[in-house]
Amino acid sequence: MGSTVGANSRGRWSWGSVLIGAASATAATAAIWARPRGPTFHLISIALSSFHLNLPLLDVELTLTVHVTNPNVVPIHYSPATVSISYAGSHLGTAQLHAGSQPAMSCRLIQLPARLNGIEMAHHVAAILADATRRQMELDASVDIAGAAHVLWWAHRFSVHVDSHVVVDPVFLDVIEQENRAETHVYLA
């Protein structure tokens, strides 16, 4: 008789156990599914906004159109950031990323106002003219973006470091090719 009672107690289940098991499985699935992934960035176009002739130099203002994809299942909010633009290892100018947000699992085009420094361009005038002749100019850009992603009632802070290598036609400002690398860090504390 004692063994019958023991067998029945081992074979029993309760709704509480089922609910705890289901909640644990759902939480594990949500944690795997909602783990933050880094956004992707692609420079779509470059447009000349204006140029200022400050004799003997020329300051150039551009608008960079960037395609950004948020692959996460939650919206993200980010702080303003400054994109550093380099040519031949020298700092050539900056572009401004304004603070904003992006919906979950979405793509968006953003406009970044950029300014190239005429003094730095003058230091590389021979190389820039050679690049214009062959219609290929190699530029590098980097930016650190900080923000937060809200998952349920938690706000997860993150930072993304993006390095880009872009080849452009300096005459028509066409993007010829590009390579972008993004490294995302999520801060759990």
How high is the pLDDT of residue 33?
Answer: 52
Q: Report the alpha-carbon distance of residue 84 to residue 72 in Å, rounded.
A: 26
Percent of the chain with pLDDT over 70: 77
How high is the pLDDT of residue 158?
Answer: 85
- What Å distances lie between residue 12 and 4, 6, 16, CA to CA? 12, 10, 12
Tokens 């009672």 belong to 5
Checking if the pLDDT of 25 tops 60, the result is yes
Q: Determine contact, residues 38/69, Cβ cutoff 8 Å.
A: no
Checking if the pLDDT of 93 tops 70, the result is yes
Mean pLDDT of 73-80: 88
pTM passes above 0.85: no
Q: How confident is the model at residue 72 (pLDDT cuts 50, 70, 90)?
A: confident
Q: Report the alpha-carbon distance of residue 151 to residue 84 in Å, rounded.
A: 31
Checking if the pLDDT of 55 tops 70, the result is no
Handedness of CA 173, 175, 176, 181 (dihedral sign): positive
Give tens-digit pLDDT for 152-185: 667 778 898 999 999 999 888 899 999 988 888 8
